[in-house]
A = this chain, B = another copy of it.
Amino acid sequence: MINFTLMGAGRIGKMHAKIINTHPKCNLKYIYDVNLKSSEEVAKLYDAKVVSSSEEAIESEDVNAILIASATATHIEFITKASKAGKAIFCEKPIDLDIQKVNQCWDNIKNLNALIHIGFNRRFDNSHSKLMEACKNKEIGNLEMIIITSRDPEPPGLDYLKACGGFFRDTTIHDFDLSRFYLGNDPIVKVSAFGSQFTSKDVIDVGDQDTAMFILQSQKGVLIHINNSRRAVYGYDQRVEIFGSKGMMISNNQKNTSVEIYTDKFTEAKDPILPFFIERYKQAYQDQFDHFVTTIEAKKPTSVNFQDGRNALILANAAYEAMETGKVVNVKY
């Protein structure tokens, strides 16, 4: 059995606790959260122990792996400690909002050879990853365009908006990573970005965007479009289209049932799409975790590593620069 400590028992932490607990090879041993009530609630559910010191949580000898689902500002501290303690690390995105700190962290840990997985869950979605297989196998010929539509169901509250590091670093970062996933070893070299404010006064007050469009271009010339919104009334809109010299593949939205309705007003109406990431990416989160367990057992590198987390942040930063300067930004990694 692989013993886990869970750092952070909020919404996403709870989801991970359940996944750990369900995995036949894993055991949820310790839970750490600054909010004791949260950690106790989760600990009770899965028969785990609450610890009140992050050192104890990370460094205990009977722990093999650390799952970091705490506030973003704590990620680097926990990654560093866990690397030094020789633990396997699963860290939710982003590594940090500040690229300087990310670089500093890397300098501190790069020689420790820690197994670090960054939680870009979408790469593990069956539908999205089927498109990746198609790219690899040239099923659509040479890749020429990628179009990613990624829209949240409803805007978060003011507190979240203030803490999230901005729309591009909070949300689009997933799409930047997904673009890199499909491109393989063809790096993104140019970024352009536009933003608008439509959903709430809060967004305007914090000076952020809630609706955005991007164009990226890879070294080989592949063109990538991303569009985002904080609000889609019909659900969590998650689509990917890859277009190539011999065809096109679309990873489309998913619904709760396969029912179609016909009335005198319309036909073939289907359910609203799955509401948000917990439901839409349930299979992806499970398979991502299973991939992490497999890499621990095989002592092999994970497919989504520290540099993937760093590079997605670099693209988000480049996007902000592009929007602010009105220029296409040449990405430096």
A134 CB to nearest B CB, Å: 8
Q: Which of A136-158 contact B (CB under 8 A)?
A: 139, 141-142, 144-145, 147, 149, 151
Residues of A within 8 Å of B, CB-based: how many?
70
- A257 and B126 alpha carbons, distance in the complex (Å): 6
When distances are taken between beta carbons in the complex, the residues of chain B under 8 Å from A251 are 257-259
Q: How many copies does the complex hold?
A: 4
Whether A130 lies near B252 (C-beta < 8 A) is no
Question: What's the Cα separation between A263 and B248 when bound, in Å?
Answer: 7
Residues B265 and A268 in contact, CB atoms below 8 Å apart: no
- B-contact bits for A164-197, CB 8 A (1 contact / 0 none): 0000000000000000000000000010101011
Which chain B residues lie closer than 8 Å to A198 at the CB level?
142, 144, 221, 245
Q: When chains A and B are docked, how far (Å) is the Cα of A318 from the Cα of B328? A: 15
Which residues of B are found within 8 Å of A232, using beta-carbon distances? 243, 248
A259 lies within 8 A of B267 (CB): no
- The residues of A with any CB-CB pair to B shorter than 8 Å are 126-127, 130-131, 139, 141-142, 144-145, 147, 149, 151, 190, 192, 194, 196-199, 211-215, 217, 221-223, 225, 227, 229, 231-235, 237, 243, 245-273, 326-328
A-B contact pairs, 23 of them (CB 8 A): A131-B259, A145-B211, A192-B192, A192-B215, A197-B221, A199-B245, A211-B221, A214-B215, A215-B225, A223-B227, A232-B243, A233-B245, A246-B264, A250-B262, A251-B258, A253-B258, A261-B266, A266-B266, A266-B269, A267-B269, A267-B273, A269-B270, A327-B328
